Structure 1
Amino acid sequence: MNSEFIQALRDLEREKGINADILLEAIEAALISAYKKNFGSLQNVRVDIQRDTGEIKVLAQRQVVEEVTDPRQEISLEEARAINSKYELGDIVEKEVTPRDFGRIAAQTAKQVVVQRIREAERGLIYEEFIGRENDLVTGVVQRQEGKNIILDLGRAEAILLPSEQSPGETYRQGERLKAYVLEVRKTNKGPQILVSRTHPGLIKRLFELEVPEIHDGIVEIKGVAREPGARSKIAVHSRDEKVDPVGSCVGPKGARVQAVVQELRGEKVDIIKWSDDPAVYVANSLSPARVLDVTVDEENKVSQVIVPDNQLSLAIGKEGQNARLAARITGWKIDIKPESEAGDWDSWDADLDLDGTIEEE
């Protein structure tokens, strides 16, 4: 170990952000273990690396005591003062015991410590990078499948797409690019574990932020997202500028923006509705693409009664109740839907849609 090694550590400090002095302290600690292991010493020793030259010294340490019981650990006051008259009881006397071939052991140990610390530092940097991207969008390449988990290559790290976060009906081919929503970043001994999702409503929100400049700039705001992954989603939008149409902004010229999102979601249908602070208007909008004739709301119980044309009833409810179920989720309201022909008597037809998405007819 020499001055060139010290310079290499300084260069490493600049490139990787690893403090060279902390690295040297770690090497010194590792060399103490290496010395004791290779030379069978029971002495207390200290390893000192000169910060400018890289010279290494192994120093045996003995404490100054009145009566010596272990010569390997202790030294008498008389003997200590024979070395230096300034020694007092309790002081530590050091003597160099550097072995002749210790340089080879030191080089191997230093390499192991440096490599380990570089890995730890890189893991730390990757963790810090991705912990700040929780609830954000990442783009990865499908690398492999481990059991039912899909592993995405994010460049500097890998992400795990668990089966529960895989969208129904989607298949993932090795080498294809994929956008995913970062659910959680965990710190582990093997580096950061990044969990991503293709089913989270936040994925749709981030995709629209990516495709719609008005959302990115804060002119148009996403007020709510309801999703049944792989099938259909609803997104409620609001414009802070009355001159800007929030729905039109999200649809884009000739539907280009929404189609880009649908393509990334592999055909999942997306309804874009206009948010309103008027519950009746919001509920009516939420049942799009069905046309609503009238909405009565009970704000205290958050229940709404909706009248639709007879020929729009199945469209308002949707296949297996999907449209009404998503409307209830995005508005947070319980929605009762009735055809116009039966609007006069609510008791004659009871379609009760709860927020859990179940429909019961009596």
Structure 2
Amino acid sequence: MTVIKSEFSLALNQVATERGISSDDVISSIEQAIIAAYKKEYSKEEEEIKAKVNQDTGEAKLFKDDKDITPPGFGRIAAQTAKQVILQKIREAEKKTVASHYLSQVGTLVKGRIIRYDGYSASIDIGKAEAILPKEEQMNNYKYQVNDSLIVYLKEISNDKFDNPRIIVSHSHPKLIEELFKREVPEIASGAIEIKKIVREPGERAKIAVASSQSGVDPVGACV
């Protein structure tokens, strides 16, 4: 019985090479998923079932006590299961690749657009990925709406309970003001003026203490 046609090995190797996924990991995941699919369709009892997928041909068999128990016609279910597992592995790899791309941008500003907002957290399209703007990182009096464009502070990248990377951004972090001033005031970007302290009431006001490290440079005047 063939799970996927003769292209199985080529497809598996292509996924492993292009996405950086271990082929052994993919095979193991397919075998576990095939066992789950078998138990759902054919067996409601708790029993020890093993699956074996041939990495070269895609042939899959099910065993119980070393006896082949593969049901006739199970190939279609196994093929669909294998396809779903491979697609899932691709999505997981893409998420990790994208997260790695943004890892070097933590602590900087990114421009995005709100694509979902449920009144609590917002999902922000930041280009190659989707970031999360949690409630605690929002400005209290700002009315967030879908399709709004925002400049946000890329705060961190962390993993959720399923080990999927999450890009967290902030619209209220004091560093957002600091990075905006670096963009707008050349003297701050060059280091001639240093931001000593920022006190911010997001959406209301912000106070910034600045100092000049070069004679003849007015720190307050340059920032106004």
Give the letter aligned to residue 55 of structure 2. Answer: R
Q: 1:34 to 1:151 in 2, by over 3 A?
A: closer
In structure 2, how many angstroms separate the alpha carbons of the residues matched to 1:213 and 1:6? 56
C-alpha deviation, 1:126, in angstroms = 4.4
1:227 aligns with 2:211: no
1:208 aligns with 2:181: yes
Residue 35 of structure 1: aligned partner? 38
Matches within 5 A, 1:323-334: none
How many residue pairs get aligned? The number is 217
Q: Choose the corresponding residue for 2:92, options 120, 127, 138.
A: 120
1:10 aligns with 2:21: no
Q: 1:160 to 1:103 in 2, by over 3 A?
A: same
Q: Choose the corresponding residue for 2:56, options 33, 52, 56.
A: 52
In structure 2, how many angstroms separate the alpha carbons of the residues matched to 1:30 and 1:18? 17
Report sequence identity in percent.
35
Q: Is the 8 A contact 2:131 2:168 kept in 1?
A: no
CA RMSD of aligned residues (A): 3.5
C-alpha deviation, 1:149, in angstroms = 4.5
Q: Is the 8 A contact 1:127 1:187 kept in 2?
A: no
Gaps of 5+ in 1: 62-93, 252-257, 259-270, 272-362
- Secondary structure of the structure 2 residue equivalent to 1:54: coil
Q: 1:27 to 1:231 in 2, by over 3 A?
A: same
1:175 aligns with 2:147: yes
C-alpha deviation, 1:43, in angstroms = 6.3
Gaps of 5+ in 2: none
Give the letter aligned to residue 166 of structure 1. Answer: M
In structure 2, how many angstroms separate the alpha carbons of the residues matched to 1:8 and 1:17? 13
C-alpha deviation, 1:138, in angstroms = 2.1
Deviations 1:90-125 (A, max 9, x none): xxxx44443332211210211222233333333444
Q: Choose the corresponding residue for 1:143, options 100, 111, 115.
A: 115
Q: 1:203 to 1:100 in 2, by over 3 A?
A: same
Give the letter aligned to residue 135 of structure 1. Answer: G
Matches within 5 A, 1:1-362: 1-40=4-43, 44-61=48-65, 94-130=66-102, 133-147=105-119, 149-155=121-127, 156-162=129-135, 165-166=138-139, 168=141, 170-189=142-161, 191-212=164-185, 215-216=188-189, 220-229=193-202, 230-239=204-213, 242=214, 245=217, 247=219, 251=222
In structure 2, how many angstroms separate the alpha carbons of the residues matched to 1:163 and 1:48? 48
Q: 1:194 to 1:27 in 2, by over 3 A?
A: same
In structure 2, how many angstroms separate the alpha carbons of the residues matched to 1:161 and 1:32? 38
- Secondary structure of the structure 2 residue equivalent to 1:158: strand
TM-score (norm 1): 0.49
Give the letter aligned to residue 46 of structure 1. Answer: K
